[in-house]
A and B are shown apart, each in its own frame.
Chain A
Amino acid sequence: MILALRIANQQLLELRRQPAMIAAMAAVVSSIAGLVLFVALTLTLVNSQPASRELFQANLATAGFGLEDPIPFVIETLLSSFNFLLFTQLLGMTAVLAGQSIVHERQSGTLAFLMLAPVRRGDVLLGKALGAAILPIILYGLIGGSSSLVLASLELTEAYAWRLPPSPGWLIAFWLGGPAWCLALAAAGTLLSIRSRDVRTAQQGVWLLVFLASTTVGAGLGGGLQEDAGFQLVLAGAGVICTLGLLALGTLLLRRDIHL
């Protein structure tokens, strides 16, 4: 385990030397959070003044959305989109980083030296998966978590408290389900990376992985907030099991024979 952490730390050190990449990742999460907060705050302002509220309702009716009370509908759509985007971007960023991990070792010529070291293959994989997952989880925790708290403090979102902190469903989804599936995606990306001979192959595989994860797990974590906390607990548990299974599979695929 200590060796896995050393490998993860080495990967983080390399990531820290690429501030442009970290900035791009932070920009994705910040853009989502910024846009959602902007819309939510604007709606709060609109809702606080009857004239503005009526004008907003009239404009929506003109645009074809003839709802009796449109603001709750917009808020609910906004919150479900926010959670969905937050979770899918977390999974996507992790998969991209993990999908390059072993390919990067091959291309740098360092894989041979990793395999020469007295490190178990499971530790190499766990280290690579952790190294890919930590930075996205930190960005998601800081930016996604703080913006969720701001959203929860708005009067307009009171009716949707189950979608936001500190509801048990949200807490489990955000702090257990998200990181658990993030690790699962990291393990899956690392697995893809083992089987890829060059970056382009890895990228295409990652693309498929992100699509599958977004439409299933991303939707489950974001949309599943309608379910009770038990559903989110089961989903988080499935993420842990999936991570362990993929790491176990990876130890079979990653051989000390660097040609295989």
Chain B
Amino acid sequence: MAPVVQARGLGRRFGKRVSLQGVDLELPAGEVLGLIGPNGGGKSTLLLLIAGLLEPSEGEVRVQGIPSQQLARQAHGRVGLITAEPGLYPLLSGRENLHFFGRLHGLGAAQVDARLRDIVGELHLQDALERPVSACSSGMKQKISLARALLMQPALLLLDEPTANLDPVSARAIWAEVRRRADAGLAVIVATHDLVAAESACDRVLLLAGRVLDEVRFEGPRQPPPVGHLFGPYLRVIGAEDGS
């Protein structure tokens, strides 16, 4: 089966500064690839290059055979993106945001609602959907952002530090959903500073610092990051024993 992502000699400079160079990459469906490395190491740059939101200075990257620069025109939502900042209109409700982006991707209003019914239940978003985004917690905003990506039924999900600034419950929910989707066949690339989560949930990890320094593949079943001894008492404190 052809890989979902194929990159050859991929690199990007910002002025004279080289952010990333010489990245070769293949990612099959159903695999979660972690990107770890220091700040400025090129993790976000790599994700944006794959999404077609940055032009490569060298090399090329294709998603399902489509050059990244043509993704927006040809792939119609086959790439879902989640950034550390949720990227939502703060004065609109979650539902209005999701409808707007869904309609931009060519979905009808009824189609958006139908797809949302499943996603909202899975992400426990019922309460947050009708509120203005500005009144939602960081965790809820990130879940709405995840819902937007899933709404387009992508073949590839790109996550840039999706759990930064999230409480443990929200972070675990995001990781669990990502892992569940990957097990169902979604290709995922996630940039993170959470080494424990990367080791637990990713099938493979690239260590990036301007280029790929190392690659680690993990064996055995993958799962959301371990919760530790404090997770139970934490859930009791916030009154969310069911993890919602």
Chain B: how many interface residues by the 8 Å CB criterion?
Answer: 34
Chain A: how many interface residues by the 8 Å CB criterion?
Answer: 25
Rounded to whole angstroms, the CA-CA distance of A18 and B132 in the bound complex is 12
B162 at the binding interface (Cβ < 8 Å):
no
Rounded to whole angstroms, the CA-CA distance of A116 and B86 in the bound complex is 14
- Judge whether B89 and A108 touch: CB under 8 Å: yes
Rounded to whole angstroms, the CA-CA distance of A119 and B85 in the bound complex is 22
Rounded to whole angstroms, the CA-CA distance of A109 and B52 in the bound complex is 16
Most chain A C-beta atoms within 10 Å of own C-beta, residue among B48, B89, B96: B89
Residues of A within 8 A of B132 (CB): 17
Known: A6-B100, A17-B132, A112-B53. A118 touches B72 (CB 8 A): yes
Residues of B within 8 A of A6 (CB): 100, 103-104
- Judge whether A13 and B92 touch: CB under 8 Å: yes
A10 at the binding interface (Cβ < 8 Å):
yes
Residue of B nearest to A107 (CB): B85
Residues of A within 8 A of B101 (CB): 113, 117
Minimum C-beta distance from B36 to chain A (A): 22
Minimum C-beta distance from B225 to chain A (A): 25
Residues of A within 8 A of B73 (CB): 118
- What total count of A-B pairs have CB within 8 Å? 80
Residue of B nearest to A2 (CB): B103
Residues of A within 8 A of B79 (CB): 116
Residue of A nearest to B87 (CB): A109
B-contact bits for A85-110, CB 8 A (1 contact / 0 none):
00000000000000000000000111
- Judge whether B72 and A115 touch: CB under 8 Å: yes
- Judge whether B85 and A109 touch: CB under 8 Å: yes
Minimum C-beta distance from B100 to chain A (A): 5
Selected from B53, B75, B88, B106, the residue in CB contact (under 8 A) with A258 is B53
- Judge whether A113 and B90 touch: CB under 8 Å: no
- Judge whether A116 and B51 touch: CB under 8 Å: yes
Residues of B within 8 A of A10 (CB): 89, 92, 100
Minimum C-beta distance from A94 to chain B (A): 20
Q: Can you name 5 A-B pairs with beta carbons within 8 Å? A: A113-B81, A114-B104, A116-B79, A117-B104, A118-B72
Top-7 shortest CB links A-B: A109-B87, A109-B85, A17-B91, A117-B104, A257-B55, A10-B100, A110-B87
Given A14-B92, A109-B88, A116-B51, 12 additional A-B pairs, CB 8 A = A10-B100, A17-B91, A112-B48, A112-B53, A112-B81, A113-B148, A117-B72, A117-B77, A118-B75, A118-B105, A256-B53, A257-B55
